[in-house]
Amino acid sequence: MSKLPNIGTTIFSVMSKLASKHKAINLSQGFPNFPIDSQLSEILMTKVNENVHQYMPMPGSPELLTQLSTLIEKQYKRTLNPSTELLVTAGATQGIFTTILALIEKGDEVIILDPSYDCYEPSVILAGGTPIRLPLDETFLPDWERIENAISNDTRMIITNNPHNPSGRVWSSNDMVVLEKIMSENPQLLLLSDEVYEFITFEQKHLSVHQYPSMHDRCITVSSFGKTFHITGWKIGYLSAPEKLMQEIKKVHQFNVFSVNSIAQATLASYLEVVDVSSLGKFYQKKRDLFRESMSSSNFKLLPCDGTYFQSASYKSISSKSDVDFCTSLTIDHGVATIPISVFNQDARDQKIIRFCFAKDETTLLKAAEKLCKI
């Protein structure tokens, strides 16, 4: 008996293992290969000698929760109560899982927009809900007509991801307005807004659900320190939700995590006092531009990249292989590991598009591009 009969090992583990076996440059899994900010490591080293090694309060360190409410206020002009509307989680993944487990019941339908991050669907299934997977349009932006048509009385939640992994697209203000309209027309609907790449956008600024008060009473936002501070291995993030939903989320959180690792919380509380998150977009924009420039003579067709640290590309003019086979041969024969987009789609729909992660140092990006330009 399996509760998740159709779920195997995630593609990220599969590709990273293949990359290391064949000594390929790993542009597959989304993690930075450069050092963390030296200010962050200095704070971490100081904290080691402080009294921060025992359980933190269940919802998070009060200092960290206060810093988070300040950050959200500064960034989005939304005032949140740190003790009732915020929760520190063991990464965005746990925040998503815990939210879904707390709020979704048997018979509830949950809309997921494909290509979708791989933890959404299993969480819905484990909660007893029914995932309704709808494709984004061909430019990886929401197909609102399709979404509106899919909403029924059984639809309890819509999960959105903006900026979007794997495509790197960012929603427009029109998208946000339509989302607001749909939320107001469907009072039974909750919104789980995965914004883990919120600080990584380029020409177009990120529009957060935090900025749309009409949705606040039914919206849960998900953020990740892993993405924002290049510390994916620390597995720490946070949620915001209105108090009545947060109470339910905390009931689950206290029994699947209780409280998140104390030294990371203490370190981040102090780091948030000094760091400026607004420089992150520029930092990654330079990497995106370098990678795109160095790929300009390749046979890959690079698709628009407005945010995240992912560049998607079509390989239609290079090969007719399935994207999984293409990525496998790219790793083994050409020494660059990437991610096939079909694994993010229901029924593995293959669009002949792959994803490169450009959260890498310059040398790695240039070496990878050199190899890719020869194909």
Ligand X SMILES: Cc1ncc(COP(=O)(O)O)c(C=O)c1O
What DSSP line would sit under 248-307, residue for residue?
HHHHHHHHHTSS--HHHHHHHHHHHHH--GGGHHHHHHHHHHHHHHHTTTSSSEEPP--B
- Stretch near ligand X under the rule CB under 6 A, chosen from 134-142, 206-214, 224-232, 313-321: 224-232
Q: Which of residues 55-74 bind ligand X (CB under 6 A)?
A: none
CA distance 375 to 107: 49
Q: Parallel, antiparallel, or unpaired for β 130-135 and 109-114? A: parallel
Residue 165 touches ligand X, criterion: CB under 6 A: yes
Binding mask 13-42 vs ligand X (x if CB under 6 A, - otherwise)? -----------------x------------
Binding mask 120-159 vs ligand X (x if CB under 6 A, - otherwise)? ----------------------------------------
- List CB contacts of 163: < 8 A, sequence separation 6 or more: 169, 170, 195, 197, 198, 200, 201, 206, 306, 307, 308
Residue 162 touches ligand X, criterion: CB under 6 A: no
Edge to edge, what strands does the sheet with 237-240 contain? Answer: 86-89, 237-240, 219-224, 190-194, 155-161, 109-114, 130-135
Options 32, 131, 226, 281; binder of ligand X; rule CB under 6 A: 226
Options 26, 67, 93, 265; binder of ligand X; rule CB under 6 A: 93
Edge to edge, what strands does the sheet with 353-357 contain? Answer: 301-302, 310-314, 353-357, 339-340
Residue 232 touches ligand X, criterion: CB under 6 A: yes
Strand segments, DSSP code E, in the chain are 25-26, 86-89, 109-114, 130-135, 155-161, 190-194, 219-224, 237-240, 301-302, 310-314, 336-337, 339-340, 353-357
- Stretch near ligand X under the rule CB under 6 A, chosen from 48-56, 86-94, 179-187, 330-338: 86-94
- Stretch near ligand X under the rule CB under 6 A, chosen from 72-80, 87-95, 251-259, 267-275: 87-95
- Closest approach of ligand X to the CB of residue 114, in Å: 13
Q: Which of residues 177-206 bind ligand X (CB under 6 A)?
A: 194, 196
Q: Which is nearer to ligand X, 190 or 192 (CB)?
A: 192
- Closest approach of ligand X to the CB of residue 93, in Å: 3
Using CB under 6 A as the binding criterion, the count of chain residues that bind ligand X stands at: 13
Residue 237 touches ligand X, criterion: CB under 6 A: yes
Query: Which residues would be at the binding site for ligand X (CB under 6 A)?
Result: 30, 91-93, 117, 161, 165, 194, 196, 224, 226, 232, 237
